[in-house]
Structure 1
Amino acid sequence: MTRVEDFVSHFDALAGKIPANIYYQDRPDGNRISALVYPDVPENGMLVGVTYGLSLLDNPAWTRGRPELLIGVKSTDHRWARAAGLLAANITGCPFSYGTVLNFGQPITDESTMDHFVVFAPTLLDEADFLNVLNAPEGAPAQDVIHVAGIYPIHASEAAAISDGKLEEFWKSGADLYDVTRPAVL
């Protein structure tokens, strides 16, 4: 199997099904980012989206592996998954490291006022399912190692607080990280 087939098979197995849709976003450099959409995962009324293609790009910060993005929300709107693909395709030079705040520039969907994301470990997955998802051997070059980073929709006020060093306060706030209609907690 190819790298992309291995990656998609990994997430198909986790979801227990194939993606309902795959959205594509072309980058100016000719690379393509895919956003795979898994509705009703991990439960009815939720949606999981995962990108593929970000890990094919180069970034000097990616010395131990390269990222792909995962979003999980209580929504049936595929635009949440598409947003992950748009971020991966359009934010160049971003390390997508934990605590990074990403400005989407507008509300992500009509159902929510959230317009930012924060990157952190994907809480919907076990560590073995998001670190080195292609099982590259120990010592493999970074381009052969894919780590999946979670992106969580947040309000502008939360983005400002996190950027001011309050990530831990946000994380411990008890906010439902999957509820796209929740009020701001910071």
Structure 2
Amino acid sequence: MRLYLDHLEEWAGEEPEYHLLSAETADPPLLTFTYRGRFGPNTIAGFTYGLSLVSHPEWRLARPELFIAMASDKEEWVLAAGHVAGAWRGEKRYRTGDIFDLGTPISPEESEMSALLLFLVTDLDPDFARVELPDATVVLAQLYPLYESEVALVEQQGPAEFLSTENVDFHDPRRPPLHS
């Protein structure tokens, strides 16, 4: 874990806030690391740790960890990424285009968004998003919050086209829902 955390701290220039999301005795543990203000005032960025420590038959060349960045100071966004990492680890592949419906608003104070789309990292340098560790290569994948009504739109358009919608800030928890 230390090498992964050193990699993140090199990017952030500081130590993160962290949350242990699994039981203390869980093996492997599941944690989130939170950095505030890296993308401007009142922004939050978070990374998971523990998803890549489980096995999946399709993870031959690299193992995923999750990243989220939001124009918000609410920890719920990072905790939602941790929930996605923990709820299906060992079961799902966590591949580009996967949608994780949480069934309830992620940050009800700010938004009704209740799902997360996993896609390529757009907010970090691609070289940074690939972490070479002694026992595995970890690749960061980014989570983009969605409204429940947008899930069908993503499935119809495909995630790349959806995320390419002009004049939409996918980091803004208060953005209006997109419609077809």
Q: TM-score, normalised by structure 2?
A: 0.90
Quote how far apart the aligned CAs of 1:168 are.
3.2
Secondary structure, aligned partner of 2:132: coil
Contact 2:4/2:133 (CA < 8 Å) preserved in 1? no
* Cα RMSD, aligned residues only: 1.8
Secondary structure, aligned partner of 1:31: coil
Counterpart in the other structure of 1:167: 159
**CA distance in 1: counterparts of 2:63 and 2:114, whole angstroms:** 25
Counterpart in the other structure of 1:98: 96
Q: Does 1:129 align with 2:124?
A: no
Write out aligned runs for 1:36-185 (5 A).
36-92=33-89, 93-110=91-108, 111-131=110-130, 133-134=131-132, 144-174=136-166, 175-185=168-178
Contact 1:119/1:149 (CA < 8 Å) preserved in 2? yes
Quote how far apart the aligned CAs of 1:134 are.
2.4
Contact 1:24/1:85 (CA < 8 Å) preserved in 2? no
Secondary structure, aligned partner of 2:128: helix
Structure 2: stretches of 5+ with no match in the other structure: none
Match of 2:19 among 17, 23, 30: 23
Contact 1:50/1:68 (CA < 8 Å) preserved in 2? yes
Contact 1:117/1:159 (CA < 8 Å) preserved in 2? no
The runs of 4+ residues in structure 1 deviating greater than 3 Å are: 27-30
Q: What does the per-residue CA deviation read over 1:79-124, in whole Å, with 9 as the maximum and x for residues that have no partner?
A: 1111111111112411111111111110001211100010111211
**CA distance in 2: counterparts of 1:47 and 1:91, whole angstroms:** 24
Secondary structure, aligned partner of 1:169: helix
Aligned residues: 175
Contact 2:71/2:172 (CA < 8 Å) preserved in 1? yes
Q: TM-score, normalised by structure 1?
A: 0.87
Identity of aligned residues (%): 28
